[in-house]
Amino acid sequence: MKSYDDKHIKNVAFVGSHHSGKTTLAETMLYEAGLIGRRGRVEDKNTVSDFHEIEKERQSSVFTTPLHTEWRNYKINILDTPGLDDFIGEIISAMRVADTALMVINGQHGAEVGTEIIWDYIQRFQRPTVFVVNQMDHPDLDYEKAFQSIVDLVGKNAIKIQYPYKTKDGRPAIIDVLKMKMYVFGPEGGKPEKHPIPEEEREKAEQMHNELVEKAAENDEELMELYFEKGTLTEDEMKRGIKKGMLNLELFPVFVVSALNNMGSGRLMGFIDNVAPAAYEMPPEQTLEGEIVESKPDEPVSLFVYKTFYEPNVGKVSFFKVKSGTVKSGDKLLNPRTGEIENLGQLYIVNGKKREPVDQLTDGDLGAVIKLKSTETSDTLTHPERPLRFRPLQYPQPRLRKAVKAESKKEEEKLQEALRRIHSQDPTVVIQYDREMKQQLVGTQGELHLQIVDWLLKNEFGINAEFTKPKISYRETIQRPASASYRHKKQSGGAGQFGEVHLKIEPYYEGMPEPEGFPVRGIEEEDLPWGGKLVFVNSIVGGVIDSRFLPSIKKGILEVMESGPMTSSPVRDIRVIVYDGKMHPVDSNDISFKIAGAQAFKKAFMDANPKLLEPIMHVEVKVPEDALGSVMTDLQGRRAVIMGIDSAGKYQKITARVPLAEMYRYSTTLRSLTQGRGTFTSEFHAYEPVPSNIQEEIIKKHQEEKDNEK
């Protein structure tokens, strides 16, 4: 491939809902530019983009695939993304390095499920966007409905560049109101015939042309003056105004194509070449250190790694964007996160699974390198004398969590390494070991996402895994004071064991006064690893228990608190007052008082009206208004406490407190209730008491599990 400078490189992320035609459009562009000899089909499992086995099996994109094509002395880097929000991490990674988003819309249905979620991320990344209405030649095309769905999404700044038309002899055509020409296609598509706009469409096309002229002029004072002076703009002037409008996020051009039948792709590529912004035209990026980095070839080199992929027989492939300077094969660059110097070795440009070696890549270009030692997704590689870090990718929290273990215990270590690699490849797969519940947890964006993880474990790592509902981390506490005593006495020849402890326990709360009726010899406050406190009060008088045994009493109490009497859940927020006891001059020792303290605490705990606490999540649910009622009903069925409902544009935002135990598979339910349009976030809020009837069920289930283990 020829070398391109930064002014002739365009980076475009193809986004859109499931089955909108992104992969087919990318395939058509590669074919139209002559980079491939024949067009593959998703159904035939032979496209350049969807090359992974799981994608062939599902006949849809699962990963973002980097591609590139050449059109009239420009290089267009394409990032073909999945359409389902289970794979939102892939879309986020692509959006981070693209300079333009190309949103593909199904011409039969308009903006569909998932489009609004993708649009939300486009706005977060502030990316100029082109809309492409696909299936222009389909008999069920409803172009006006599709265009209106774009307007509903982005507002009145959506502007038609083209609209579909059928000639009198029934041939599909595109009327282009920027160039004021009609492109007529044969049944096989390809290069169109150029015709004047038919007389019966002339008035409509001129009206749309004038609207486009006005919209282009609005974004540039100089163009506005020219427009007032001449009453129109030239095509080049319009292109300049359209580009400014796109960069200002105030103009969203709308094109039409038939990706399947190769109609309109050449014209679309021409627009990307001439109008879509290049990296050097985008706002410069600020690093975590506050430094401004401009996309210029004469700046020190810096790269941002936006994706990691593990390829069989190759290993780790790191995909990057050159943020500044020119990177060359063999360069040694610093990873500021790890402090390691990485040797880049051979550089590549990528088309699906094919890699083409190149000697260098300039600022704004996309490339790949293999077998970096310590570099992961979101890392920066930079000139050693200019250590800087670009802001890392921010991914959404998992919406589904499950416990996972290998079916064979022999494969547990292998499972851990496989999960580590899957997380490296897809950071939205969150791996966490719950030490308290002794469970390996995997978090995903939904059921489908989890199925992909399972497929990868089976097919790429040869591991059969079991996924189960995670255990809930409950807490135990008390609701009233109680007292108890315990004498530990053991005699078996030789030295015996003796210790007697009298104590009182109380519910602890911040700011509570010192205990009444007991002398206070000392107070120790202990922040517990699982949350809450133990306050240990020494009220021993007369030396009935030697002070050297008090730490052992406390240690015994802490061991019980670590695995509580009701459900083996940790105990929290208790004040213990040790006020009496007995010693033996020979047989008393640390172990005796540890046992006595533990047993006395257990007895008092069960007399103090013990209570289970459950984790409560702060949940925010964003839903379309027409689904508000059903979502509210479902939340209330999950024991949610609704804190408020607010408008959020076209959506309603519900704020609620929901028990974690009731959140299992909520993402699946929400998707069903809202036809995929609802989203939610959740984070830990507090521990609160479990209702009595549910507490009884939990204790009963715990006892049954203990009995089964015997």
For 492-555, give the DSSP string: SSSS-EEEEEEEEEEE--TTPPPPTTS--SEEEEEE-TTSSEEEEEE---TTSS-GGGHHHHHH
Name the average pLDDT for the chain: 94
Asked if pLDDT for residue 2 goes beyond 90, the answer is: no
Q: What share of the chain has pLDDT > 70, as a percent?
A: 99
Least confident segment among 257-266, 419-428, 645-654: 645-654
User: Band of the pLDDT at 710, cuts 50, 70, 90?
Assistant: low
What pLDDT is stored for residue 313 in this prediction? 85
- Cα Rg of the chain (Å, integer): 33
What are the C-alpha distances in Å from 373 to residues 279, 345, 357, 423, 483?
28, 12, 20, 16, 60
What pLDDT is stored for residue 186 in this prediction? 93
What pLDDT is stored for residue 443 in this prediction? 96
CA dist 25 and 328 (Å) reads: 32
Structural domains of the chain, with CATH: 8-201+251-281 (3.40.50.300), 285-382 (2.40.30.10), 400-468 (3.30.70.870), 476-608 (3.30.230.10), 612-694 (3.30.70.240)
Q: What share of the chain has pLDDT > 90, as a percent?
A: 90
Question: Model confidence over 366-396: pLDDT tens digits?
Answer: 999 999 999 999 999 999 999 999 999 999 9
Strands 100-106 and 129-134: parallel
Q: How far is CA 206 from the centre of its chain?
A: 45
Q: Going by C-beta distance under 8 Å and a sequence separation of 6 or more, which residues neighbour residue 690?
A: 474, 611, 612, 613, 614, 698
Give one DSSP letter per residue of 125-164, joined into a string.
Answer: HT--EEEEEE-TT-TT--HHHHHHHHHHHH-TTEEESEEE
CA dist 82 and 58 (Å) reads: 12
What pLDDT is stored for residue 3 in this prediction? 82
Average pLDDT over residues 525-550: 96
Q: Going by C-beta distance under 8 Å and a sequence separation of 6 or more, which residues neighbour residue 709?
A: none
What pLDDT is stored for residue 1 in this prediction? 66
What pLDDT is stored for residue 81 in this prediction? 97
Question: Model confidence over 192-238: pLDDT tens digits?
Answer: 999 999 999 999 999 999 999 999 999 889 999 998 989 899 999 99
User: Band of the pLDDT at 705, cuts 50, 70, 90?
Assistant: confident
Average pLDDT over residues 66-79: 96
Question: Model confidence over 448-497: pLDDT tens digits?
Answer: 999 999 999 999 999 999 999 999 999 999 999 999 999 999 877 667 89
CA dist 614 and 476 (Å) reads: 9
What pLDDT is stored for residue 558 in this prediction? 98
- Degrees (nearest 5) of the Cα angle 486, 491, 492? 145
Asked if pLDDT for residue 7 goes beyond 80, the answer is: yes
What pLDDT is stored for residue 407 in this prediction? 94
What pLDDT is stored for residue 312 in this prediction? 86
Q: At 226, is the secondary structure helix, strand, or coil?
A: helix
Question: Model confidence over 89-144: pLDDT tens digits?
Answer: 999 999 999 999 999 999 998 888 778 889 989 999 999 999 999 999 999 999 99
What pLDDT is stored for residue 651 in this prediction? 84
Tell me which residue of 279, 270, 220 sits closest to 244, measured CA to CA: 220
Question: Model confidence over 144-167: pLDDT tens digits?
Answer: 999 999 999 999 999 999 999 999
Asked if pLDDT for residue 318 goes beyond 80, the answer is: yes
